[in-house]
Structure 1
Amino acid sequence: MALQGALRRAAALALGRRGGPGRFRMGNSLPASVGLSHDAAVNHIQDMISANCVVIFSKSTCPYCKMAKNLFESINVNYTAVELDMNTNGSQLQDILEQMTGGRTVPRVFVNGTFVGGATDTQRLHEEGKLLPLVHQCQEKRKS
């Protein structure tokens, strides 16, 4: 357990991440990372997902990624965006996300620790009234 925490801290330091999960706000993205081992990259992804209510693994020029980010902005929900095309380990992170989610396309949207899909899946959840309850459930969990 202590080793896993040490690996996550090392991955966060390697990525230049300082401060707590509240550091990343609506529309902000993570800095580029440098030379992560496979295990450190996996731990980083898992840490990001568990430390934030909404994480969008994205590419800066992708229209579907913009659609997903715009959806969360329109409902005033903070998210953390990881721009894979601006990250030196972006391809490695995308490979790991494919192993985790079964798909390589972006965006890969996680809400409350769970993969919810891409942009159209996330939009559908919102239209069905299921997205905000997932976000609120996460926010409530973090308050307690």
Structure 2
Amino acid sequence: MSAAKQKAQQIIDENAVAVFSKSYCPYCRATKSLLDDKHAKYYVIELDQVSDGAAIQDALEEMTGQRSVPNIFISKKHIGGNSDLQAKKSQLDDLLQSAGAV
């Protein structure tokens, strides 16, 4: 397993909610804003601000089939991107509660 894949997996495993993001991405901002509105505790890694960001993004594509950001995980389960998260708004409170993220 590549170092980037191990790092991504570790982030997913160690955090109730993990968001792989890019600081300039409007969809990432919308995701973080929604999670902030829900007072969720989440871990975010800005892939454009870490030296291995591109490698982590490649690893995430391998793991999930999704290359775009945000790439969101709740309770180690791949949720998808911002539109997927927004579509789950009605279930989000329950998802975050069961993840222990609120």
Q: Give TM-score scaled by structure 1 length.
A: 0.67
For these two proteins, the number of residue pairs brought into alignment is 101
Q: Which has the higher contact order (CA 8 A, sep 6+)?
A: 2
Paired residues for 1:111-130 under 5 Å:
111-126=74-89, 129-130=90-91
Specify which of 33, 44, 52 is matched with residue 70 of structure 1: 33
Which of 132, 138, 141 is the aligned partner of 2:93? Answer: 132
Q: CA deviation at 1:40?
A: 2.3
2:23 aligns with one of 39, 51, 60: 60
Q: Which runs of 5+ in 2 are unaligned?
A: none
* 1:45 lines up with 2:8 in the alignment: yes
**Which of 129-138 and 77-86 deviates more?**
129-138
| 2:57 is the counterpart of 1:94 | yes
Measured in 1, the distance between the counterparts of 2:3 and 2:59 equals 11
> More strand by proportion, 1 or 2?
2
The superposition leaves residues 63-87 of structure 1 with CA deviations (integer Å, 9 ceiling, x where unpaired) of 0000000000011101111100001
**Structure-1 separation of matches of 2:53 and 2:68:** 13
Percent of paired sites with the same residue: 38
Match for 1:69: what amino acid?
Answer: K
**Larger CA Rg, structure 1 vs 2:** 1
1:7 alignment counterpart: none
Q: Which runs of 4+ in 1 moved over 4 A?
A: none
Superposition RMSD in Å: 1.3
